[in-house]
Amino acid sequence: MDSWDVTTSSQPAGGAGGRPGGGPPAGTTQATGGHETHGTRTIGVAIPIPDPYGRELQRVRESFGDRLASGIPTHITLLPPSQIDAAELGAIERHLAQVARTERPFRIRLHGTGTFRPVSPVVFVALAEGTDGCARLHAKVLAGPPGQRPQFPYHPHVTVAHHLSDEQMDRAYKEMADYEAAFQVWGFSLYEHGADGVWRPRRDFLFGTGTVTDPPERGA
């Protein structure tokens, strides 16, 4: 299930899309220091869907009337939303860097639609290729901090409609049935849920090196 859609603060204001061109950002930093160490944070880990597909799918989701779409970058979940102590961020980033270091780029192909109804009101674009890579990453990410246990069996997907009327959900399922896109996965991102209800990338983790990068500003 795509629990990124269950926000814990105010409604989304503003948006964030996938990375332009689908490649990693240029600047690099280390996975240490610079953290505020007080309070709690809500984080998630995901593979961002690169542009133009990321922005395209976000706009499609908005067109179906999904009010959360503008605050959720298009993604494939690896770690669902997790509330952590801010002091844990350093250890989490070090773990994610190690996971990325052990991986290599792989291909994802999106094709067709699926749904979790009636268990959960979600319509999604399905993965026709790349599910094994996503499942492997998911297991590695969950093996370290914050150590969340999955609520449901892992099923990588890209949400295009959530908690809408049956009519809107049916429309999303039918209209996206022929959707197709393919791209190379370069790594994954750590996201943080803001007080304004928007999910924003905090760090990017590049496959093969474990390099940690500060994500560029991403518009709607």
pTM of the model: 0.83
Q: Residues for the chain: how many in total?
A: 220
| Backbone dihedral angles phi then psi of residue 107, each to the nearest 5 degrees | -95, 140
What local confidence, expressed as pLDDT, does residue 5 receive? 54
Q: For 38-85, how does the pLDDT look when each residue is reduced to its tens digit (9 = 90+)?
A: 699 999 999 999 999 999 999 999 999 998 899 999 999 999 999 999
> Residue ranges per domain, the chain?
17-110+131-150+180-213
Question: Sorting pLDDT into bands at 50, 70 and 90, what band is 18?
Answer: very low
H helical segments located in 23-109 = 53-63, 89-101
Residue type, 171: R
Q: Tell me the per-residue pLDDT of 149-183, one tens digit each, with 9 for 90 and over.
A: 777 889 999 999 999 999 999 999 999 999 999 99
Q: Are 199 and 71 in contact (CB under 8 A)?
A: yes
pLDDT of residue 55: 96
Q: Band of the pLDDT at 204, cuts 50, 70, 90?
A: very high
Q: How many CB atoms sit inside 10 A of residue 100's CB? A: 24
Superfamily of the domain at 17-110+131-150+180-213: Cyclic phosphodiesterase (3.90.1140.10)
